[in-house]
Amino acid sequence: MKTILQRLSERESLTELEMKEAMDNLFANDVTDSEIAAFMVSLKTKGETVEEIAGIVKAMRDKSLSFSKEIPNVLDNCGTGGDGSSSFNISSTSAFVIAGAGIPVAKHGNRSVSSKTGSADVLEHLGINLNHPPERTEEILEEIGIAFLFAPHVHPNIKRIMKVRKDLRIPTTFNLIGPLTNPVELDYQLLGIYRRDYIEMFAEVLKTLGRKRAVVLNGAGFMDEASLQGENHLAILNSGKVTKKILHPEEVGLPVCSNDAIRGGDSKENAEILLNVLKGKKGARRDTVLLNAGIGIFTGGRAETIQGGINLAKESIDSGAALEKLHQLIIASKSVHKEVI
């Protein structure tokens, strides 16, 4: 670790393999919390490269629970959090809409870290069991087309690293990479990030990780979700190329609305908001979900354009398909692994 820390402190970048080896050292029992903190701060100060982020992610995925099945065309729409917007759980709500449109969703998420309510808090309040072995999670994903992966459960070996991250009380690389560490082999990914200057870099990382198509976005007001407030900045990975796009809600037939209109509350309130949106209640929250789910449906290849994705998102909600996905997940999450029956 001493050599790695010295190189980072001298602003020397590491290759993907070197970073993966450095991360393996961080998982060792003899590494100190001070060394982990020094690693995080040195990397942040130097500035991360695509290769370094890819190396970190691959090392973390190697230490996660093993998901062996190759389920085709799976998408995740997890965001980084950390935008300070206090919005309701937009990506969790959108996940059911995307699944209702026929795209398998392996939703990676956690409890609240920087916001009032994390995706896990809301889903638990709705009656969804978060703790399954990988085999049962894969069964659920195959059976109903949506499954939730509770980050601390699927990444049991990174508790100390995450504790140090929290104790530092400053944002580092590890505040951004959570959505990249989904242990399911994804073909598609919609990733919201609170750092607008990182959207192209993270699209390049997703290219390195083998995504067929991906969208990395930063919303108006620097949200880690697409926003109705104004311009949303997107980096789109398609056919191995990354292009940038600015998307305004009026371009896709949605109204302009302040981010204040989509504030959420505690897990109970956010669960009620999620249910109301899936039941078809009109307003800024539904329109925000339509925008985000529409981008997700486009990302997953079910629509040729974002406008087409929004149209399918409307159909998913209005037909009851999105709400049915929620009901199916609640029931499936409470059943045991088939081999135990």
114 is in an annotated binding site: yes
210 is in an annotated binding site: no
- Angle (CA) 72 121 226, round 5°: 60
89 is in an annotated binding site: yes
113 is in an annotated binding site: yes
With 0-12 / 13-18 / 19 or more C-beta atoms within 10 angstroms meaning exposed / middle / buried, residue 323 is: buried
330 is in an annotated binding site: no
7 is in an annotated binding site: no
333 is in an annotated binding site: no
11 is in an annotated binding site: no
Sign of CA dihedral 58, 174, 217, 104: positive
213 is in an annotated binding site: no
286 is in an annotated binding site: no
Q: Which two tokens stand for residue 273?
A: 């908001």
270 is in an annotated binding site: no
119 is in an annotated binding site: yes
64 is in an annotated binding site: no
25 is in an annotated binding site: no
227 is in an annotated binding site: no
42 is in an annotated binding site: no
Q: Which residues of 128-147 are buried (b: 16+ CB within 10 A; e: fewer)?
A: bbbebebbbbbbbbeebbbb
Find the helix or strand (DSSP H, E) in which 161 lies. helix 159-168
User: At 275, which amino acid appears?
Assistant: L
112 is in an annotated binding site: yes
Whole-angstrom distance, CA of residue 5 vs CA of residue 12: 10
107 is in an annotated binding site: yes
Whole-angstrom distance, CA of residue 20 vs CA of residue 267: 36
61: Cβ–Cβ under 8 A, 6 or more apart, which residues? 181, 183
CA 292 to chain centre: 12
Query: Do 128 and 330 touch, CB atoms closer than 8 A?
Result: yes
Q: Which residues are annotated as a binding site for anthranilate?
A: 79, 110, 165
Q: Which residues are annotated as a binding site for 5-phospho-alpha-D-ribose 1-diphosphate?
A: 79, 82-83, 87, 89-92, 107-115, 119
Q: Which residues are annotated as a binding site for Mg(2+)?
A: 91, 224-225
Q: Which residues are annotated as a binding site?
A: 79, 82-83, 87, 89-92, 107-115, 119, 165, 224-225
